[in-house]
Amino acid sequence: MVTQLIAPKSFQTVITWEPLPDDFRLKDDPVENTGHPLLAGALREILEIAGYILPTMLIASNFALCATLNGQFVAKAPDWVYVDKVNQVLSSRKSYTPNERR
């Protein structure tokens, strides 16, 4: 008896980060758990007091995370996000795209 091994199909995920159009509107549905914003704020405050937050980091809550995944636009609303290092630090940042083209 001979066992044949078939190589699995390789799946490649292509993620692109495009700036949203200025007139793009995201849904404003209520959050599932009203305690999440408070927990996100407390987590950020604890990290800031402990000195773990650097000016080169991006930490956000109450926001939308938008990307194009394999050609399909996806928008998610995580409760909290941490980005280790951003390409450019701006004090008035309203959006962030890793490959900013504006």
Instruction: Copy the structure tokens of residue 102.
Output: 């504006």
Domain boundaries defined on the chain: 55-95
Q: Please tell me the predicted confidence (pLDDT) of residue 102.
A: 45
Average pLDDT over residues 3-20: 74
pLDDT per position as a tens digit, 12-54:
888 888 777 778 776 666 656 677 778 888 888 998 899 988 8
Q: What tokens does 42 get? A: 């407390």
- The pLDDT value given to residue 46: 92
Q: What is the pLDDT of residue 50?
A: 92
Cα(65)–Cα(60) distance, rounded to whole angstroms?
A: 10
Taking the alpha carbons at both ends of the chain, their separation in whole angstroms is: 62
What is the overall mean pLDDT for the chain?
Answer: 76
pLDDT score at 30: 63
Cβ(52)–Cβ(30) below 8 Å: no
